[in-house]
Amino acid sequence: MIYRIRHTTRYDYQAPVDYGVHLAHLVPRPLPGQRVLSAAVEAVPALSWRHDGVDHFGNAVAWLFLDTPHATFEVTMRALVEVAFAPPPEAPLPEARATPPWETVAAAAWRGGAGAWQASEFLFDSPLAGADPAARAYAAACFPPGRPVLAALLDLMGRIRAEFTFRTGVTTTATPIAEVLRRREGVCQDFTHLMISALRSFGLPARYVSGYIRTRPPPGQTRRLGADQSHAWVDAWLGSEHGWVGLDPTNGLIVHDEHVVLGWGRDYDDIAPLRGVILGGGEQSLTVEVELDDAFPPADVAAACPAPGAA
Amino acid sequence: MAHDEMVDGRGGMRPQWRSLLGVLAGLGHEVLAERRTRLERILAEEGVGGLLPGAPPDRWRFDLIPLPLSRAEFAAIEAGLIQRARLLEAVLADVYGPQRLLAEGALPPALVFGNPGFLRPCRLDPQMPEDGLMQIYAADLVRGEDGAWRVLADRTGWTDGLAQALENRRRLGRVLPELFASRQLSPIGPFVEVWQERLQRLLPDRAQDRGSVALLTAGHAHPGWYGHVLLARELSCALVEGGDLTVRDGRLLLKTLRGLKPIGVLLRGGDGRGIDPLELAPDGHGVPGLLGAARGAVRIVNHPGSGFATAPVLAAFLPDLATRLLGEALALPSVPTLWLGDAAAREQVRGAPDRWRLRPAFSARVAPVVADAAPAAWRPALAAAPWRFAATEASPPSAAPCLGATGLEPGPVLIRVFLIADGHGWRAMPGGLGCVPAEGEAFWPASGPILAKDVWVLADMPEAIFGPPASEAPRLEIRRAAGDLPSRVADNFFWFGRYLERLEGGARLLRLTIARTAQPAPAPHELAEINLLADCLTEAGLLDAEAIAGISQTGLAQALLRAAGRGGALHGRLRQAMQVSGQLRDRLTGEMHAVIGRGVRDVEEALGRVAIAHHGEALDSAAQAMARVLAFAATVAGLAAENMVRGGGRLFLDLGRRVERAQAVADELARVLDFPGATEEPARVEHGLRLALELCDSSITYRARYLAVLQPAPVLDLVLADEGNPRGLGYQLAAARALLAEIAGSGDPSLALLAAQLSEEAQAMVRDVAAAPEQARAALLLPARLRALRDAVAELSNGLSRRYFALLPPARRIGS
């Protein structure tokens, strides 16, 4: 599946901002199963300086500097991405009952060492997703002793999908997990943090994936929740043999070909699409627009993505 | 039995103590006690807490008795610490690089990923410096009962105390020079020169404008601030705050009066976690984008992520890491340490609770405690996540003689030793800082009072002095102007000047008014004068307009006395001025600071004696107190004129005084020339003129020039136009013009031109009155012009702020 993405973030400031520096995690991450055909980030007004690099988690990151007064700042990412995560043949999803018991996975992550140490990082508390007793209590029924880890994960994802209402505007990035649990509502970020927190409380590595989900659902299916905006879901670790699996608790989906990955971190803070520090500016308002259109005829792809050197 | 530093347990004295003790015995306790008093006075006057009574005292107290170590003993410590520095560098390089230690299982994941000192934005830096993440390293050591030194704490991030060690050595030399007469003592001064040289070499290798070295401080409220001030002075580098710096085009720039100056090496004076609000803690005192700049041309010393290795729990793994990374056995071990993430370690601690002390695994700032005394807040974590904790073996420090109430008394002692990388390897400062810890503890507190000691390393033979290697510092241009002064400092000097003047002017006005209210039966014109003065005081914020509306003369007198007394409005001004001078502590000489501190104490005493109960005495006490305030302001102004280099902050201090006084004089003259009833009967303006002379302290000069004949033009000439009268308006404006011209140098002269116009307007006012057929009537037209002039001066001050100070507004974090 090929998607054309446009993601625009716009700040409108009440008073001119003298100086701003922004950290952008806006470029889709090339992965097995995700080919980035083209990607570009444009800013208005023009940047005074830009620096590109790779963060600790391996995500592309850009530092955007503005040092002349500006009343608005708009960043647009456009990309063309081909996605086909993991269905056969390269890396078939394991049968849930063929995965190891969750305790075995937890013990391997704690030990670290070869094959596990990189996953171990996602065991530990992070500012927005610490192991939370309330989250643990909520998820406890999914984790009876000895249950295969993927079975437990799918059970938990299904419960969150069934028991929580997707509603925008009732939570912010600062809303604590306990509050989300109490309200039984929120957005994809909240459900993702909740699930990560629960998994960490059982000693299971879980990471926060930032990205998008298709705007138009596959034929005959309902519209996906979290479309037309930044989306988030969970990567959970099944042990060194099976690696990571993407689970979208907002839609109750295993990540396959309807999602585009920007990158991942321990929680939202590590991978926020755009965050910055500004001097001056007074009140500000923020607008975000996302479009993810699918199904290009191959000819369009060729036109949109000229061969290298053709530009 | 704790090890004794001085005696060997067989009745003998250790050799390094022999001649030292001889000198101490020769001086006798009385002399030592007297020297201690002298030292305390020096500390009180020069210390950072010496300014405001009631402010927290300087936390560095200092014991006069040094702690000598033999050359051989120190050589062993140095060799051990050099190995540790190499080891910790290798650990940091791996943790922030390939993480082989994790992949091989040599470090449990919790030790890295659970350590809040592991700064993810610092990882996999393409520009990871080849010569290591640490340039300076310090270790706290304790000597156990077996006489062996062990490491209590590795200070791989920012370390307090280097500058204090140098300062203490100097102070000891001042108050107890006898100790140094015949000692073959290793000097510690050259160490700083090597360090300074090293920092110069770290500057980026660019043909032009390599930038300079600066020390980043979180400001005067930070507990380490005094140390920052001292260190910046030792290293002759700029002391800067986050708000002074900005990152542009990948470069780090310091905002100075002459524009933005590049900084090539930034020493950080605090936790690396607060250094960049964009990528790290949003509430730090850092510079947004600094880490981005550090990935390019800017070097941060030590690297922001180096604090990772201060985690106390790492000590449990160092012996194994030394074998693995260096292929060597750890020569200078840590105090035995266990990681409680390990079940066997938990068993071991449970089996011998008396032997072990618990502490957070990742914070070296919290003292270890007996398991039973663990704070309640730790308990849930101890049960659920014991991996967040470490245990260290209880290790009673050795005892060393300290100066007590009646003689030498043994006290526990720890030492801190400093090492720097000089580009070829590590070297230790031959000496260090001793600390007498709290009773029963072996822990160097991260903050709070410290009793410090000078650590001596004795030379077996006259020192081969190691001097700094040939310098490659760029040739300095001769500069005399204030151009490199950080804008924030210039701003502080300007406001220090304004506040001092506000204090002095307030005292003058209060003195004048209080004296008048003492008249038993004032004539109507005298009452009118009192009311005018009360208006001036209200305008100045020293009296509350509503509180004095319609009150009796006695009531007014009491309100005046309250304003003049301790806790009153004038006292508030003193505190305001002192607060700014506190922020300028690093820019004022020790002597000036000491004089200001003493002056403030005197003034506050005098203010405290202002009584409001008995009228006669009260007026007398208030007059005395006001005289004290005026003397204080004169002393500070005189000191500044005699001691401060003109180009530094003094121009701004002067300018602040001139601007403040010009505004006050213009306002007061406008009020008194508006004398009640003068419009109907212009002759009444005479009362206003007399008051004007008094307000400008110019009655005597007037009498000397014109005898007793009071006429508008001559009076106005003296208080408005005469540029030779330091209390008149003309003088302030002329001086401001000259100062602004000097500050601008060859730059934009518009502010000086504006001041010249104002000066000319003051002259024109007097000319107009002198030329008028009826001078008194002409004088009545002046108040409106004077108010306009006052407002123009305020505008000049705003223009000055915009031009030179324009501080960066506070940074705010935003996000999608």
B380 touches chain A (CB under 8 A): no
- Is B807 near chain A, with CB under 8 Å? no
> Number of folded domains in chain B?
4
Query: How many angstroms separate the CA atoms of B397 and B414, rounded?
Result: 7
The answer, yes or no, to whether residue A307 has pLDDT greater than 50, is no
Is residue B292 less than 8 Å (CB to CB) from chain A? yes
Q: Provide mean pLDDT across the span A280-286.
A: 82
Same-domain check for residues B669 and B716: yes
Between residues B59 and A135, the one the model is more confident about: A135
Interface test with A, best of B113, B128, B273, B362 (most A CBs within 10 A): B113
Contact A276 B815 (CB under 8 A): yes
Residues A12 and A125 placed together within one structural domain of the fold: no
Interface size between A and B, measured as CB pairs under 8 A = 117
pLDDT-wise least confident of B184-188, B225-229, B470-474, B798-802: B470-474
At residue A306, the pLDDT reads: 44
Given its phi and psi angles, is residue A265 left (phi above 0), alpha (psi -120 to 50 degrees) or beta? beta
Range of the domain at A202: 96-270
CB-based contact B510:B542 (threshold 8 Å): yes
Q: Same domain for A179 and A108?
A: yes
Cis check: omega of the bond before A45, within 30 degrees of 0: yes
Please check whether residue A31 lies inside any domain of the structure: yes
Any domain includes A88: no
CA A15 to the chain's CA centroid: 32
* A chain contacts of residue B279, beta-carbon cutoff 8 Å: 23
Write a three-state SS string for B209-220.
CCCEEEEEECCC
Q: Are B142 and B432 in contact (CB under 8 A)?
A: no
What average pLDDT does the segment B89-97 reach? 94
Residues A161 and A228 in one domain: yes
Asked, for residue B467, whether it belongs to a domain, the answer is: no
Q: Is there a single domain that holds both residue B389 and residue B404?
A: no
pLDDT of residue B110: 97
CB contact under 8 A, A51 and B296: yes
Contact B249 A112 (CB under 8 A): no
Q: CA A285, A287, A213 angle in degrees (round to 5)?
A: 150
The verdict on B608 and B668 lying in the same domain is no
- What whole-number distance in Å separates Cα of residue B453 and Cα of residue B458? 15
Which chain B residues are closer than 8 Å to A121 by Cβ? 109, 113
Judging contacts by C-beta atoms under 8 Å, the chain B residues touching residue A21 are 247, 278, 288-289, 292
How many whole angstroms separate alpha carbon B621 and alpha carbon B607? 8
B109: chain A residues, CB-CB within 8 Å: 109-112, 117, 120-121, 123-124
Q: What is the 3-state composition of chain B as percent helix, strand, coil, each rounded to the nearest 5?
A: 50, 15, 35
At residue B469, the pLDDT reads 39
Residues B583, B492: one domain?
yes
Q: Which helix (H) or strand (E) holds A19?
A: strand A2-24
Is A309 a domain residue?
no
User: Is there a domain that residue A141 lies in?
Assistant: yes
Residues 6+ apart with CB under 8 A from B380: none
Q: Which residues contact B236 (CB under 8 A, 6 or more apart)?
A: B196
Q: How far apart are CA B670 and CA B512, in angstroms?
A: 17
What's the mean pLDDT in A19-24? 92
Residues A21, B289: C-beta atoms closer than 8 Å? yes
A243, part of any domain:
yes
Residue B471 included in any domain: no
CA distance B534 to B526: 12
pLDDT tier, B96 (very low <50, low <70, confident <90, very high otherwise): very high
Indicate the pairing of strand B212-217 with strand B238-241: parallel
Q: Return the SS3 of B735.
A: helix
**Same domain as B381, residue B252:** no
Contacts of B686 (CB under 8 A, 6+ apart): B710, B776
Asked whether residue B46 carries a pLDDT value surpassing 90, the answer given is: no
pTM of the model: 0.83
Neighbouring residues of B523: CB distance < 8 A, sequence distance ≥ 6: none
Task: Check residues B1 and A309 and name the one with the higher pLDDT.
Answer: B1
Q: Give the DSSP letter of residue B388.
A: G
Distance CA B637, CA B655 (A): 12
Judgement on whether residues B158 and B306 belong to the same structural domain of the protein? yes
Query: What is the least distance, in Å, from the CA of B102 to any CA of chain A?
Result: 6
pLDDT tens by residue, B296-307: 888 999 999 999
Q: Which of A159-168, A251-260, B129-138, B372-381 tops mean pLDDT?
A: A159-168
**Cβ burial, residue B599 (10 Å; 0-12/13-18/19+):** buried
Q: Tokens at residue B65, please?
A: 């008795």
Mean pLDDT of B643-652: 76
Q: Which domain holds residue B216?
A: 15-335+395-457
**Which residue among B109, B124, B812 places its CB closest to the CB of A120?**
B109
- Give A-chain residues touching B288 at CB under 8 angstroms: 21, 277, 279
Please tell me the least confidently modeled range out of A286-290, B290-294, B516-520, B766-770.
B516-520
pLDDT class of B433 with cuts at 50, 70, 90: very high
Cβ neighbours of B295 in A, within 8 Å: 51, 53
Q: How far is A193 from chain B (nearest CA, A)?
A: 17
Report if residue B2 sits inside a domain.
Answer: no
Bridge partners for B140 per DSSP: B153, B416
Contacts of B124 in chain A (CB under 8 A): 54-56
Beta bridge partners of B255: B260
Q: In chain B, pLDDT over 70 holds for what percent of residues?
A: 91
Question: Same domain, yes or no, for B28 and B171?
Answer: yes
pLDDT at B85 over 90: yes
Could you list the beta-strand ranges (E) of A151-301: 165-166, 185-186, 206-213, 231-237, 244-248, 253-254, 259-265, 274-280, 284-293
Residues 495-514 of B with CB under 8 A from A: none
- B699 and B737 within one domain: yes
Residue A226 and residue A182 share a domain: yes
Of the candidates B104, B295, B816, the beta carbon closest to that of A275 is on: B816
Query: Which residues have CB under 8 Å from B122's CB, separation 6+?
Result: B96, B272, B291, B303, B304, B305
Taking contacts as CB-CB distances below 8 angstroms, the residues of chain A near B250 are: 49, 51
**Is B103 touching A (CB cutoff 8 A)?**
yes
Per-residue pLDDT band at B385 (split at 50, 70, 90): very high
Q: Which residue among B105, B126, B278 places its CB closest to the CB of A23?
A: B278
C-alpha–C-alpha distance, residues B303 and B672, integer Å: 63
C-alpha–C-alpha distance, residues B601 and B807, integer Å: 33
Quick one: average pLDDT of B482-498? 83
Evaluate whether residue B465 is within a structural domain.
Answer: no
Interchain CB distance below 8 Å, A123 and B109: yes
Looking at the structure, do residues A169 and A202 belong to the same domain, yes or no? yes
* Residues B318 and B334 sit within 8 Å (Cβ to Cβ): yes
Which B positions 229-258 lie with beta carbon below 8 A of chain A?
A: 246-250
Which chain B residue has its CA at the smallest distance from A116's CA? B103
- Residues A221, A287: one domain? no
How far away is chain A from the Cα of B282, in angstroms, using its nearest Cα? Answer: 9
The whole-angstrom distance between A278's CA and the closest CA on chain B is 5
Judge if A104 and A155 occupy the same domain.
Answer: yes
On whether any CB of chain A is under 8 Å from the CB of B524, the answer is no
Mean confidence (pLDDT) of chain B: 87
What is the structure's pLDDT at B164?
A: 87
Inform me whether the pLDDT recorded for B48 exceeds 60.
no
pLDDT recorded at residue A302? 46
The residue out of B588, B614, B644 marking a domain boundary is B644
Q: Which residue has the higher pLDDT, A222 or B16?
A: B16
Model confidence over A207-228: pLDDT tens digits?
Answer: 999 999 987 777 777 777 777 7
Domain for residue B479, yes or no? no
Same domain, A143 and A212: yes
Find the CATH number of the domain harbouring A150. 3.10.620.30
pLDDT at position B145:
92
| Residue B754: C-alpha distances to residues A115, B83, B751, B759, B789 (Å) | 73, 64, 5, 9, 11
What average pLDDT does range B229-254 have in this prediction?
A: 88
What ipTM goes with this model?
Answer: 0.91
For the segment A15-29, the average pLDDT, to the nearest whole number, is 92
A115 is a domain residue: yes
Whether the Cβ atoms of residue A250 and residue A188 lie closer than 8 Å to each other: yes
Question: Residues B595, B630: one domain?
Answer: yes
How many domains does the structure of chain A reveal? Answer: 2
Same domain (yes/no): A38, A168: no
Arithmetic mean of pLDDT over chain A: 88
Whether the per-residue pLDDT at B64 is higher than 70: the answer is yes
CA distance B134 to B132: 6
Does B254 share its domain with B290? yes
How many helices (H) and strands (E) chain A has is answered by 8, 14
Q: Which two tokens stand for residue A107?
A: 């013990």
Reference A197, options A278, A117, A281, A132; nearest CA is A132
Give the minimum alpha-carbon distance from A281 to chain B in angstroms, rounded to a whole number. Answer: 9
What distance in Å separates residue B198's CA from the closest CA in chain A? 29
Q: Do B808 and A18 touch (CB under 8 A)?
A: yes
In sequence order, the 6+-apart residues with CB closer than 8 A to the CB of A110 are A120, A123, A203, B109, B110
Note whether A277 contacts B814, CB cutoff 8 Å.
yes
CA distance B579 to B582: 5
User: How much is the average pLDDT of B545-555?
Assistant: 76
A144 Cα to chain B: minimum distance (Å): 19
Residues A100-157 pLDDT 10s: 999 999 999 999 999 999 999 999 999 999 888 999 999 999 999 999 999 999 999 9
Q: Write the DSSP assignment of B743-797 as a string of letters.
A: HHTTS--HHHHHHHHHHHHHHHHHHHHHHSSSHHHHHTTHHHHHHHHHHHHHHHH
Question: Percent of chain B, pLDDT > 90?
Answer: 49
Inspect the interface and report whether the beta carbons of A275 and B815 lie closer than 8 Å. yes
For residue B468, tell me if it sits in a domain.
Answer: no
Alpha helices in B334-425 (DSSP H): 343-351, 379-384
Determine the pLDDT at residue B613: 60
Q: Tell me, yes or no, whether A23 lies in a domain.
A: yes
The Cα of A234 is separated from the nearest Cα of chain B by a number of Å equal to 19
CATH code where residue A286 lies: 2.60.40.2250
By percentage, how much of chain A surpasses pLDDT 70?
92
DSSP B720: I
Q: Under an 8 A CB cutoff, do A53 and B295 touch?
A: yes
Same domain, A258 and A284: no
What's the pLDDT score for residue B579? 85
Q: How far apart are CA B226 and CA B705, in angstroms?
A: 52
Q: Is pLDDT above 70 for A30?
A: yes
Residue B175 sits in the same domain as residue B191: yes
CB A148, CB A245: distance < 8 Å: no
Mark whether A104 and A170 lie in a shared domain. Answer: yes
Q: d(Cα B125, Cα A55) in Å, to the nearest integer?
A: 9
By mean pLDDT, which of A281-285, B205-209, B446-450 is the weakest? B205-209
Chain-centroid distance of CA B238 in Å reads 13
**Contact residues on chain B for A112, CB-CB shorter than 8 A:** 102, 105, 108-109
| pLDDT given for residue A227 in this prediction | 76
Asked whether the beta carbons of residue A124 and residue B810 sit closer than 8 angstroms, the reply is: no
Both A262 and A278 in one domain: the answer is: no
- Using alpha carbons only, give the angle B768, B772, B773 rounded to the nearest 5 degrees: 175
Give the residue, B485 or A177, on which the prediction is more confident.
Answer: A177
Our CA-based measurement puts residue B388 at a distance from the nearest CA of chain A, in whole angstroms, of: 11
- DSSP-assigned letters across all residues of A77-104: EEEEEEE--S-TTTSPPPPGGGSPBHHH
B578 φ, ψ (degrees, to nearest 5):
-70, -30
Q: Report how far residue B805's alpha carbon sits from residue B494's, in angstroms, rounded to the nearest whole number.
A: 10
Residue A310 pLDDT level (bands cut at 50, 70, 90): very low
Does residue B494 lie in a domain region?
Answer: yes
User: What per-residue confidence (pLDDT) applies to A114?
Assistant: 92
The residues of A whose Cβ lies within 8 A of any Cβ of B are 9, 11, 18-19, 21, 23, 48-49, 51, 53-57, 63, 65, 67, 109-114, 117, 120-121, 123-125, 173, 230, 270, 272-281, 284, 286, 288
Query: Any idea how long chain B is?
Result: 816
- Per the DSSP assignment, residues forming a β-bridge with B632 are none
Considering the domain architecture, whether residues B404 and B377 belong to the same structural domain is answered as no
> Which tops the pLDDT comparison, A293 or B265?
B265
Q: Which residue of B has its CA nearest to A110?
A: B109
Say if B444 falls within a structural domain.
yes
Give the distance between the most distant pair of CA atoms in chain B.
Answer: 105
Distance of CA B336 to the CA centre of its chain: 38
| Nearest-Cα residue of chain A relative to residue B807 | A279
Interface contact A19-B812, CB threshold 8 A: no
Is the separation of the CB atoms in B122 and B282 below 8 Å? no
Quick check: B811 and A277 CB within 8 A? yes
- Does position B426 have pLDDT exceeding 70, yes or no? yes
Distance between CA atoms of B289 and A277, rounded to whole angstroms?
Answer: 9
Q: pLDDT value at position A215? A: 75
pLDDT at B51: 42
